[in-house]
Structure 1
Amino acid sequence: MTANNLNISLESHLHKILIPLVSLLPASASENLQPYISDPPPSTIPYNVLQAISQWSRTPAGQKALRANSLDPQDYNMIAMLAGATTSPEGKFGDYTPPKGPQAIEADRVKERKAITALLNALLSIGGAAFATWWAADKLRWTNEWRVLLSLFVGMIVAISEGVLYVIWDSRQKASKKSQGIRRLQSATHKKDDGETSPADLPDDLTTKVDLTDESANLRRRR
């Protein structure tokens, strides 16, 4: 995105100081400004129109024309004209996602290793159960057709069991991450300084000094 296709929100103070410029600007700049001083004004104005006005206000001819009409050239620099304005208010930008820190990256790597290990264990469990069933059926003198069917049946049961266990494990991981986020939020809320410090937050020696001072003051009052 370049300055040529950027729009700036046309604030009321900006619209007010742009109106007198129509008769002062050069013909091309005045023609470009004309659509944006109407009443009611549009919601945005191109950045390059404001940039041309700012450049003109710094020229000797521009400063002379502005002062001749009791206008301050400083009101037409970019900082003054963009005060309170919003860049591309009509645009819809996505939410900013900050990059992950080293701890978050390492935690993701650990989670990936655990998921890969769980997948390999599941495959070994399925294959081992199917092979063990095949071997046991062979010892029982079953025919090859029944041995294949029994091995597939046992493998399917083990696969379904492993899938259920993985779903339970994944749901617990998500619940744990959610609870950690809630705990961090609660901890941050409790740590906010409200301007008041309770005696429990003071060091033991300071609390003792305060109590002794209060007790001495009470004794003096009684005397």
Structure 2
Amino acid sequence: MTSDLNISLEDHLRDTLSSVQRLLPCELSAQLQIYFTQPKPALIPYTVLQSVSQWSRSPSGSSALRSATPPRDPNNFSMVSLLAGTTTSPERKFGSYVLPRDPEEIEAERKRERRAITTLMNALLSVGGSGFAAWWASQHAGWKKEWRALFGLFVGFVVAIAEAVLYLIWKSRHSAPTKKTRRRHQESARHKKNEGDGDSSIVETEYSEARLRRRGNPDQSIPSE
């Protein structure tokens, strides 16, 4: 929606609007009057500029601009011309732009999620299997059922702690390469950009030197690339 947008009222835009104010319809001219008073407003609604642009493209507006003294080009009052050198809604604070994620990075993250789910399932099975194995093995020691159950819970608790520690270690080791990979991609992109700029500068320099040699010796032609 452009109805709630404001445009920075720069000096050149204010001069452009003031030069055409007397040619505008009365209602639109009255709307512009408040933007020429002191203290000068710093913003102007987008809709006001849009109304001026629409009027300049109408038959009456185009005729009024061309018959003015001095004549004015209606194209100078298009939205592209009016918005040139201005800022849209400078009073607002827009969020920072976030670069889209690399498809390879997204696929790698999905693989890590699947591995994490598999690891958790294996841990649960290990805890349950260890507890059941301890409970089943303790029956040969002649223990009562209460002690066998406590022993199975104890073994399962110990295995759960061990699995949790191993999972945290695994997660910390797999999260670090992700940041390194992202940093390496960014450095590689900057390196390629710098290399491209250097190559273009070399080519431009060689071409300029060849042109200078040709001017010094008209018989010498520029070697084809």
Structures share fold, TM-score greater than 0.5 = yes
How big is each residue's C-alpha offset from its partner over 1:170-208, in whole Å with a ceiling of 9 and x where there is no partner? 111121111222333343444422638xxxxxxxxxxxx
| Partner secondary structure for residue 86 of structure 1 | coil
Contact 1:129 1:154 in 2 (8 A): yes
Q: In 2, distance between residues paired with 1:6 and 1:183?
A: 40
Aligned to 2:160: 159
SS in 1 for 2:44: strand
Equivalent in the alignment of 1:47: 46
Distance in 1 (alpha carbons) for counterparts of 2:37 and 2:135:
86
TM-aligned CA deviation for residue 64 of structure 1: 4.6
TM-score, L = length of structure 1: 0.75
1:35-67 alpha-carbon deviations (Å, 9 max, x no partner): 323334333211110011111123343345445
Gap regions ≥5 residues in structure 2: 200-225
Q: 1:53-105 deviations in whole A, cap 9, x for unaligned?
A: 11112334334544524362332111110102222323333334455454334
State the partner residue of 1:177.
178
The superposition leaves residues 135-170 of structure 1 with CA deviations (integer Å, 9 ceiling, x where unpaired) of 122221212222222222222221122112111111
Q: What secondary structure is seen at the aligned counterpart in 1 of 2:94?
A: coil
* Aligned mates of 2:39, 2:18 — CA distance in 1: 12
- Classify the secondary structure of the residue corresponding to 1:3: coil
Give the structure 1 partner of residue 27 of structure 2.
Answer: 28
Distance 2:29 2:144 in 1: 96
Q: Which amino acid aligns with 2:139?
A: D
Seq. identity, %: 52
SS for the counterpart of 2:27 is helix
Distance (whole Å) between structure 1 residues aligned to residue 167 and residue 37 of structure 2: 65
Moved more, 17-26 or 59-68: 59-68
RMSD of aligned Cα (Å): 2.4
Relative distance call for 1:32 and 1:176 in structure 2 (3 A) is: same
Helix, strand or coil: the match of 1:45? strand
Instruction: Tell me the secondary structure at the aligned position of residue 33 of structure 1.
Output: helix
Q: Which residue of 2 aligns with 1:147?
A: 148
Change (3 A) 1:25 1:150: same
Q: Which moved more, 1:91-100 or 1:10-19?
A: 91-100
What amino acid is the match of 2:125?
L
Closer, same or farther: CA 96–186 of 1 in aligned 2, 3 Å? closer
1-side partners of 2:33 and 2:160: how far apart? 72
Give the equivalent residue in structure 2 for 1:187: 188
Q: Match for residue 95 of structure 2?
A: 94
In structure 1, C-alpha distance between the alignment counterparts of 2:15 and 2:82, rounded to whole Å: 11
1:168 partner letter: I
Q: Deviation at 1:127?
A: 0.4
2: CA distance between counterparts of 1:58 and 1:81?
A: 13
TM-score by length of 2: 0.75
Question: Are the aligned partners of 1:130 and 1:151 in contact in 2 as well (CA < 8 Å)?
Answer: yes
Equivalent in the alignment of 1:125: 126
| CA pair 57-185 structure 1, distance change in 2 beyond 3 A | closer
Q: Please say if residues 7 and 45 of structure 1, whose CA atoms lie closer than 8 Å, have aligned partners that are also in contact.
A: yes
The residue identity in structure 1 corresponding to 2:88 is T
Q: Give the structure 1 partner of residue 16 of structure 2.
A: 17
For structure 1, list consecutive stretches of 5 or more residues without a partner in the other structure. Answer: 197-223
Distance 1:36 1:166, change over 3 A: farther
